[in-house]
């Protein structure tokens, strides 16, 4: 069965142009974190070096 409510998107931008913030916003709007939950910033940045430096290094994918 084909679902009509699924969209594929890609977020491509230069360094420090808000890609991680945009994706965090998508996840929050989709209620990915649960009802009114407090979640950490840069949720998708799971690599320790990414967390330490505050940058996204590795590409990620998720379903919303």
pTM of the model: 0.67
Residue 4 confidence class, pLDDT cut points 50, 70, 90: confident
**In 3D, which of 64, 29, 31, 59 has the Cα closest to residue 44?**
59
Note down the domain range covering 8. Answer: 1-64
The Cα–Cα gap between 20 and 42 comes to 6
Q: Indicate the number of domains in the chain.
A: 1
pLDDT for 39 equals 65
Helix, strand, or coil (residue 21): helix
Share of the chain above pLDDT 90, in %: 0
Give ∠ CA 50-30-9 in degrees, rounded to 5. 65
């Amino acid at each position: 069965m084909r679902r009509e409510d699924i969209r594929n998107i890609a977020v491509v931008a230069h360094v420090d142009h808000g890609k991680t913030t945009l994706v965090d916003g998508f996840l929050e709007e989709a209620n990915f974190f649960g009802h009114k939950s407090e979640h950490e910033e840069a949720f998708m940045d799971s690599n320790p070096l990414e967390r330490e430096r505050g940058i996204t290094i590795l590409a990620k994918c998720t379903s919303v």
